Amino acid sequence: MSTTEKKTFTLELGSTAPAFRLPATDGKTYGLEDFQDARVLVVFFTCNHCPYVTGSDESTRQTAQRFAAQDVRFVGINSNSERTYAEDSFGHMGERMKQHRFPWVYLRDETQDVARAYGALRTPHFYVFDAQRRLVYTGRGVDSPRDPSRITVNDLANALEDHLAGRPVRTPKTNPIGCNVKWEGKDAHWMPADACDLV
């Protein structure tokens, strides 16, 4: 199958951010419009247990803190089925946020509709949207999310740095690295093997 014929499961660059309205661990409900004042919005699909998430959370924290003063907001979304992995329940999300105090809102997508709209492929999977909420970067956060001692490239930080400086993003698309999203009623490997091969 040629590149032009290849089916894509995730948002294409330039796409507009799909709307959402989801409950958060802070007791509030958030929609895309609640972040309208953000100069840049980072939406990322994450969870409670995945070693690629837990291994890179501190890198993500540092990136969020680094760009916060430039009106960059981060929104984490957990779409994993708790029936597939009980640790991904909303209750465990609250416990995790209480323990780690991450600098982002943490939303629960129980129906998985938002994950489908964005085309979330892995945990974690990052999407960077500009002020008009057009997609300027999609893919991994860092090149070694499971083992932070081996990180050599922070693609997420590079994308934010380039965009905020008014430059084209040097690498606008990378392959997300992580665990499969735990889809309700789906085999873990239902997607084609090349679904996460974005580049």
Tokens of 6: 């290849």
How many residues are there in the chain?
Answer: 199
pLDDT at 2: 37
Domain map (residue ranges) of the chain:
15-180
Closest CA relative to residue 45, chosen from 132, 134, 95, 106: 106
Distance between CA atoms of residues 97 and 70, nearest Å: 24
**According to the CATH classification, is domain 15-180 in 3.20.20.70?**
no
pLDDT at 76: 98
> For every one of its 199 residues, what pLDDT tens digit does the chain have, with 9 covering 90 and above?
334 344 578 999 999 999 999 999 999 999 999 999 999 999 999 999 999 999 999 999 999 999 999 999 999 999 999 888 789 999 999 999 999 999 999 999 999 999 999 999 999 999 999 999 999 999 999 999 999 999 999 999 999 999 999 999 999 999 999 998 988 877 666 665 666 677 7
pLDDT at 184: 86
